[in-house]
Structure 1
Amino acid sequence: MTTYPADSRESLAHPTRLPVRAWIAERLFRSMAGPLAIRVVFPGGGWIGRGGPDSPVMRIVRPADLFRRIAAHGSIGFGEAYMAGDWTTTDLVAVLAVFTARLRRSVNPPARALRRWIGPHRPRGESNTVAGARSNIHRHYDLSNELFEAFLDESMTYSSAWFGPDDDLHAAQLRKIDGILDYACVRPGSTVLEIGTGWGSLAIRAAERGARVTTMTISQEQHLLARQRVRDAGAADSVRLLLQDYRSATGCYDAVVSVEMVEAVGAEYWPEYFQALHRLVRPGGRVALQAITMPHDRMLIMKDTYTWIQKYIFPGGQLLSLREIHRQATLAGLRVTAGRSLGGDYARTLREWRHRFTAQADRVSALGFDEAFRLTWDFYLAYSEGGFRVGYLDVWQLQLERHQRLTPYRPDMAVGERS
C-alpha cells in the first residue's frame, strides 16, 4: 500500500527530464554540499564535502535522477530521491542534520537561488477550512491506529516526551502530560477542554486528577480508539469525547489545553485559533500549549514554501516561531506567563520512535504498508530528529492567561526567543 499523493507516483518512478535545469541543480547542490562536514560520494568514487573518514556519508546512486528531481521539485525532490533510492547514507539523521544546520545559520545564496528558481506552491485543496482540515488530518492520523501502536509507547502519545534522569519513554510521556496539566492548573473539580484528543491519554490523566474533561478531535480513527481507551481506564463518566472542529467549540472552561495541534492550524487560521482559546477559557483560567517552533526568520520564509513534509506527512501543516505565538496570543487577548523548551527531549523521543518503527518493519508490512511508505516515514522521522538535534526546530510548553482587555503587541514581549 502507498499513501503518498497519487500525482507523485509517476514522477517517483520516472523523474522529469529537464537537462538544463538538472545541470544547474547539480552545480547548486555541489556548491551547498561542498563546505559541509559530510562526504557526498558519487559513482566511481569521487566525492565532495569537508567530512573526514569517520564523517557520515551520503552516497549518490543515480546522480541523473537525483538532480532531475531537485530540478523539478527543489527540496521536495531531494526527499523524493531518497524515497526512490537515488541516494543512500550510512547515517540518515546525521546527514540531514548537517544540511539542516546550514539552514539554522542562514539560507546561503545557492539555496536562495534554488528556491526562487523552483519554488513549488502549496495546493489550494490543503487549506485548513473546516472541510480541508478534516481531509488533511485524515491523510495522516487516520492511516491506521495499529501503525501508531507499532512505534508509540503504551500511552499512545504522539508528541514530544519530557525525560527525567531515569525515565523511559512511557514515564517521560506521562511527565510531559503532567507538565501541561500543571501549567493549566488542573485540579479536582476543574473543567478542562482539550483541543486535539490524540488517543486520549491526556484526557484520562486529567480525569485521574478529578477534573471533568471535554476533548475534541477531527480524526475518526483517533476518536474511536480514544473512546475505547477512556472506557477501559474507567474514565467514561469524567470525559466527554467530541468529533468536532475547534472552531465550533462552545462553553467556558477553567483550563484549555492543546498539545502539538497548533501546527495543523495553518497560518491563515492562526488568529481564529488563538481567539478560540481566549473565548473558551474563563477569566482567571489558564491555557497550556505544547507547540513545535522554528526560528522566526525561517518561519517567514516557510510560510510561502511548499515542503516535502507538507506533501507527504502533514498536509496543511505550518510551524510558528515562539515570537509569532506571543504575537498571536497577545492580539487575541492572551498573555504568555511561563514556558520551557523541550527541544532536546524531542530529538530523543524521535530517536526512540524511529528505532521502534524500524524494529517493527514486519508488523508495519503486515498492516499493508509497502517499502515506499517505510522509506517515506524513515526520512520523516530522521529529518525531524535532525532538526531538533541541531536546534533548527524546538518545542515549547507554554502557559497563557486571559487578559481582561486587549494589549497591543510589541516584539520585546516575546520572552525566551530562541525559535
Structure 2
Amino acid sequence: MTTADPVLASRPTIDPVRWPDLAASRAKVRRGVESAVARQLFRSAVRRLAVRVEAGDEVLGGGAHDPSAPVMRLVRPEAFYAAVGSKALIGFGESYMAGDWDSPDLAGLLEVFAAQMATLIPAPLQRLRAFYVARHPSTERNTTRNTRSNIARHYDLSNDLFASFLDDTLSYSSALFEAPAQRVASVSGETALVSPPPAAPTWADLRAAQERKIDRILDAARVGDGTRVLEIGSGWGELAIRAAARGATVLTVTLSSEQQELARERVAAAGYSDRVDVELLDYRAVQGEFDAVVSVEMIEAVGHQYWKDYFRTIDRVLAPGGSVAIQAITMPHDRMLVTRNTYTWINKYIFPGGFLPSTEALADVTREHTRLRLAERLSFGRHYAETLRLWDERYLGALDHVHRLGFDEVFDRMWHFYLQYSEAGFRSGYLDVQQLVFRREVTA
C-alpha cells in the first residue's frame, strides 16, 4: 500500500486540541519572507534531485520528464511553503500530516531526499544553521526527571496500537533476515561485518527474522545457563523470555508502564516469572552485578549528553569477564556532529529526547569514559528498511482497528510518515542499524 491508496485521508480533519500547531498553521498561512525563501530553496533543491514535483499545472524537479521518478504532489503549495518556511524540516513533516502534500510512493520520494540530506541546503546557509533550526526544549533533555515522560509519550501510546503492526514477538526493532555477512573495514580495530540486503522478505518471514536477531545478540553476549543478564530497555519481553529459556536469570528495566505490564504478563505466560524480573527503573539506578548486559535500540533514547552515563553504568555493573551487546541505530559521524543540537520532526512527534549516535562516537565514548572496548559489530541497515516496509503495510491494513483505539486521521498520516521516513533513511544508507559487542580491555 502507498499513500495513493484510499485508506489514508488526503484532507484529514484537524482537531485543534490534539494538533494545536497544525491547527494554528491552517488558520493563518504565512505569505511573507519565510514562505518566499522556502519556495526558492525547495525549487532549487528539487531541480538537482531525481523527483517529480507536481504543483497544479506546474511540474518541477530533476525527474520532471522521467515517468519512473518518485512523485510529490503539492495539494496546497502555499500552505506547504509557509510550513517549511516557518519550521523547516518540522514544517515539512507537519504539512504532510495536514495533507498539504502527498505521494504515491512516499518511501521512494523520501529516499531521494535522504540520500542528499547533506547537500539539500546550500553550504553558506548550513553555516548559519544554529540561527534558524529549532533547539531541543529543556523539558525533553533526558535527565532522571524528564526521561520517564519522554519514554511514556511514545511507548505508552497503547499496547494495542503496537500490536496492530508488530509480529507475535512484539519486537519493535530491526529484524535480521537470512543473508550471509561479509567483512568490511573497522572504525576502531573491531571485527566488522555487513549483512547485504535481504531478498524481498514477506510478513511470513518476519517472526523468524526477529528471533534470529535476538538469538544473535544473546550469543554475542554469551548468554547461557546460569548467566546473570541485565537488559536495558525491556520492549515487550521477548528478549528476556528467550534469555530465560537458555537458563539465564534476567533483570530487564523499562520506563514504560504499559510495556512493564504486558512484558510481565508475557513472561508469566511463558513460565519464566521465577527467572525474569521486569522493573520500572531508570538504567542509571540499576544495582548489582551481571555477566551480560544487552540493550536493543535503547541508546537512541539516551541523548548524546548522557552516553557516558549509559556506558559508565554498564561498566559499573558488568562482572569480570562479562560481555556487552547492544543493537543501535547509527548515522554518519559528520552528520551526527552537525545535527546533535537540532530539534527534529521525529523529536517533536515520535521520540522526544532521542538522538542517533555514530559508530565512531560510541567507540570514542567507551574508550574515554569506561574500560569497555568495541570488539565486534554487524551492520544490517537494509534489513531495517524491509522491517519497516512490512510494519507499514500491516499498519495501513489495520487503520479501522487503530481508529477504534481512539487515534484519528492526522495520527494515521503521522505514523505512516514516520515509518516511511525511517524506511527511506535505511534504504538510502543515511541510517544504519548495528549489533555492537563491547568487552573489557585486557590489561597486563
Question: For residues 395 and 24 of structure 1, do their structure 2 counterparts lie closer, same or farther at Cα, with a shift above 3 Å needed?
Answer: same
2:240 is matched with which residue: 203, 208, 218?
Answer: 203
User: What is the CA distance between 1:48 and its match in structure 2?
Assistant: 2.8
Counterpart of 2:176 in 1: which secondary structure?
coil
Distance, in Å, in 2 between the alignment partners of 1:12 and 1:249 is 44
| Amino acid of the structure 1 residue aligned with 2:132 | I
Deviation at 1:50, TM superposition (A): 2.8
Query: Aligned to 1:70, which of 81, 84, 88?
Result: 84
Match in the other structure for 2:27: 14
TM-score (norm 2): 0.88
Deviation at 1:45, TM superposition (A): 3.4
In structure 2, the residue corresponding to 1:224 is in which secondary structure? helix
Match of 1:307 in 2: 344
The answer to whether structure 1 residue 156 and structure 2 residue 193 are counterparts is no
Q: Distance in 2 between matches of 1:4 and 1:292?
A: 33
Residue type of the partner of 1:335?
Answer: R
> Residue 334 in 1 paired to residue 347 in 2?
no
Tell me which of 12, 19, 41 is aligned to 1:28.
41
Question: What is the aligned residue count?
Answer: 406
Residue of structure 2 aligned with 1:355, choices 388, 393, 399:
393
Q: Which string of whole-angstrom CA distances, capped at 9 and with x for unpartnered residues, describes residues 9-32 of structure 1?
A: 433433552511110110011111
Assess if the C-alpha contact under 8 Å between 2:165 and 2:398 holds in 1: yes
SS at match of 2:265: helix
In the alignment, does 2:130 pair up with 1:92? no
Structure 2 contact 264–278 (Cα < 8 Å) conserved: yes
Q: Aligned partners of 2:215, 2:306: CA distance in 1, in Å? A: 28
CA change 1:12–1:234 in 2 (3 A) is: farther
8 Å Cα contact 1:4-1:312 kept in structure 2: no
Partner SS, residue 335 of structure 2: helix
Alignment of 1:124 with 2:138, yes or no, is yes
The aligned amino acid for 1:346 is Y
Change (3 A) 1:195 1:235: same
* Counterpart contact for 1:39–1:49, Cα < 8 Å: yes
Whole-Å Cα distance in 1 between the matches of residues 242 and 322 of structure 2? 19
The alignment status of 1:102 with 2:116, answered yes or no, reads: yes
Aligned equivalents of 2:127, 2:41: Cα separation in 1: 8
Comparing 86-95 with 166-175, greater Cα deviation is found at 166-175
What CA distance in whole angstroms lies between the structure 1 residues aligned with 2:436 and 2:135? 32
CA distance in 1: counterparts of 2:230 and 2:443, whole angstroms = 22
Residues 1:55 and 2:82 aligned together: no
Q: Which runs of 5+ in 1 are unaligned?
A: 407-419
The answer to whether the 8 Å contact 1:263/1:292 transfers is yes
Match of 1:409 in 2: none
What is the Cα deviation at residue 117 of structure 1? 5.5
Change (3 A) 1:4 1:269: farther
Distance 1:5 1:338, change over 3 A: farther
Matches of residues 215-226 of structure 1 in structure 2 within 5 Å? 215-226=252-263
Distance 2:215 2:382 in 1: 18
Select the residue among 370, 378, 392 that pairs with 2:430: 392
Q: CA deviation at 1:330?
A: 1.3
Cα contact 1:39–1:50 (8 A) shared by 2: yes
Instruction: Classify the secondary structure of the residue corresponding to 1:151.
Output: coil
Identity, % of aligned positions? 50
Measured in 1, the distance between the counterparts of 2:235 and 2:209 equals 17
The match for 1:412 is: none
Distance 1:308 1:368, change over 3 A: same
1:366 and 2:380 matched? no
Which runs of 5 or more residues in structure 2 are unaligned? 1-13, 180-200
Change in Cα spacing, 1:5 to 1:404, as seen in structure 2 (3 Å) is farther
SS at match of 2:352: coil
Contact 1:57 1:95 in 2 (8 A): yes
The 5 Å alignment of 1:239-388 reads 239-331=276-368, 332-388=370-426
Deviation at 1:107, TM superposition (A): 5.7
Judged with a 3 Å threshold, the aligned counterparts in structure 2 of structure 1 residues 328 and 170 are, in CA distance, closer, same or farther, namely same
